[in-house]
Amino acid sequence: MKFDPNSENLTPQETALIKAAEEMNMQLRSRAHLLSVIDALELSKESTDVKMSYVLALLSVGFSAVRARKRLGLHKKTVDSWRQRNEDNRVRYMEAKSRGELMLEETVLLAAQRDPEWAHKVLVDRDKEKDDLEDKDDETYDASVFLKKKKVDPLE
């Protein structure tokens, strides 16, 4: 069956791809296509806003927040600052996360009909993985936090 973005009966995965494509102003055929587009980027030349559009796309197709930001080479503090910059960024981030969760839930619900133990294990492992990845998060020194708290004088 061919993917029809104008269909009224879109799956959560198809909806996530459409939303991600709109966010990045491009056409996406699949999750694999999104990953290949990201892999072709020269991350060092991209702005945080551009990288965040890809993070949102990854979140929309079911990536965890940690894996999405690490795939784009972003630190947790950078993502947090971007989200807090304005209400629109916060809303877009939460919507993308919600779409990703819906996609995961649909997948697990369908799988649970065939193998409920596997479905349960996926959910438990995902929560454990999220905790483990957050614990291993790099502690990169971010001077901007100290500048905002007036603990360090800015360079002149």
Q: In this predicted structure, what is the pLDDT of residue 130?
A: 59
H, E, C per residue of 57-79: HHHHCCCCHHHHHHHCCCCHHHH
Q: In this predicted structure, what is the pLDDT of residue 83?
A: 94
Task: Tell me the CB-side half-sphere exposure of residue 142, using CA atoms within 13 A.
Answer: 15
* Cα 143 from Cα 156, distance rounded (Å): 15
Q: In this predicted structure, what is the pLDDT of residue 12?
A: 63
Kindly state the tokens that stand for 82: 């971007």
Q: In this predicted structure, what is the pLDDT of residue 137?
A: 47
AA letter at 31: R
* Angle at the Cα of 84 from the Cα atoms of 79 and 88, rounded to 5 degrees: 100
DSSP state, residue 111: H
Q: In this predicted structure, what is the pLDDT of residue 119?
A: 84
| Segments of the chain scoring below 70 in pLDDT | 1-26, 28, 129-156
* Cα 111 from Cα 55, distance rounded (Å): 26
Q: In this predicted structure, what is the pLDDT of residue 141?
A: 44
* Cα 78 from Cα 48, distance rounded (Å): 8
Residues 6+ apart with CB under 8 A from 54: 24, 34, 37, 38, 41, 71, 72
Q: In this predicted structure, what is the pLDDT of residue 6?
A: 53
SS3 22: helix
